[in-house]
Structures are given as structure tokens and as C-alpha cells.
A and B are shown apart, each in its own frame.
Chain A
Amino acid sequence: MDRIPILKMGNLLLVSIQVDLQDQLALALQDDLSERIVQTGARGVLIDISALEIVDSFIGRMLSTIASLSRLLDAETVVVGMRPAVAITLVELGLHMPGVRTALTLEHGLALLGAEVRVRLPEDESFDDLDADLTEAADPGASPGQAVSGRAPTGRPAPAEGAWTG
């Protein structure tokens, strides 16, 4: 059977679901992910569902389970790219996904993980510097004298952009 590929990026795992999910495939992903988390010592999991045209209760439950499993294994999960029509349908369906954190885009998801987990890329030698950036990022008050016209180097993008796109 086909499997959904899991990519490793530093201490992150990246999953992009591009196919119409059969239930078995969803269950296999659940198993594969928890194994890979342990194997790689990953601290964060990003699941991109922007290609999914629907999320029904089964897939919703899979996402919840993955979030719970990975938390037990000391990794945070962020689901990114949920389509508006899917979100509206899930609300109507009455499906809650407790423990599942979501972000609009992959970038937002990375920033969210960056603020929570000390994410690092393999080529990133100066882990200490990144660490310092992240500490600053987590504390908006720490940035001095930012007027409203400027973008503060805090919150989501600043440290992450430097670390990920550089």
C-alpha cells in the first residue's frame, strides 16, 4: 500500500497530505509518524492539509490522535492550510479537534512551533544565537521602542524567517 511521505527538516517532521485519504492510509500515517518522532527525536510536526478537499470525522480524529500521540512523545503538532470550506463544514459537523493546533500557512505554522519548541535546522551551527532570538520573540515587551509603524522583531516571523530562509 502507498504511504504518505514524512520529511525530516532539522528537528521537525513535515507531512503534506496530497491524496484523497483512505482510512487505512490515515491509520498508517498515524503509526509511521509516531515511529519517526521517536526515531528522529523530532520536537515538532507540521501537517499540511491544504490539498484536502474534505475532512470528515475520521480524518479529524486522525489529526487529534496524531496531536495527542506526538505530545506524549514530546513533540508539538501544528496542522496548517485548512481550507475555509473545510473549516465551515467541520464547525457544522460539530467536530472539535481538542489539542490540535492550527495555522493558516506553513510559515505561520513554523513560527508557532518556533515560539514553542526550540526548532533547529541541521546546518544551523549557532544554536545559541537562535535560542537567544527565540527568547526575545517569546517576550514582546523585550523589544525596545517599537512604534506602531514598524514591525516588531517579535511574535511570528522575524526569528523564524532568519532561521528558515537564510
Chain B
Amino acid sequence: MSRDARINTVLLLLVAALAALPLVLGLGDHKEEPFTGADAEAETAITEIDPDYEPWFSPLYEPPSGEVESALFALQAAIGAGVLAYYFGLRRGRRQGEDRAREQAGPGAGAGPGDGDGAVPERTV
């Protein structure tokens, strides 16, 4: 594993650890419903401060169930992740193509030092 790939892996592991720690340490145990959304908690706080407040508008469309809602959230993440993956894949492919073209054009033209992220086997130099 290249140094770059190692650092990237450590970054991902850190994020995973930050997300997992509250669950592992049971930091939600003091609540009736642990790990609800902060947005919903804010709604509760509003009704505590102003018990008479009535939302004056309701969503035009509401996912009929938690399952549908999580599907739509997954869709949102998938669209984003797909575009990001396309971007990095395209960059990588272009770079490899350019390197290859340079190699064919003449040995000694040399490949650039801009190594990839190392997650995929490196091109042959």
C-alpha cells in the first residue's frame, strides 16, 4: 500500500470510529429514544418553549414510511457517490491514457510523479 493510500485509509477509519464511538459507548442510553435526529429534537424543543405553536404548512410530499424515507436518503447518497466516483474514475482513466500515449510516443518521455490514490493497482511504468 502506498503512503498516500495508507493516509487515506486512516482518514476513513477515523471517520468510522467517530461515528461508531457514541454507539459503542452507549451515549444515547440516557434517552427514551436514543439517536433520534437533531432536527426532530429541535421540533420537540420548539413545542416545549411554545406549546401552542402549530406548524402552518405541511410538506407537499411525505414518504409514507420510514422504509421509503431511508430509500430516498440512500438514493440521495447514491447519486452523490456515483457522481464522485465517475469524476475520480474519469480522471484516473485519462491520466493513464495520457501516460500510455506518452510511453508509445517515445520511451524516455517519462511518466509523471503524480501517483494515484493507490487503491487500484498502479500502472506499469
Q: Do A and B come from one complex?
A: no
Interfacial residues, chain A to chain B (CB-CB below 8 A): none
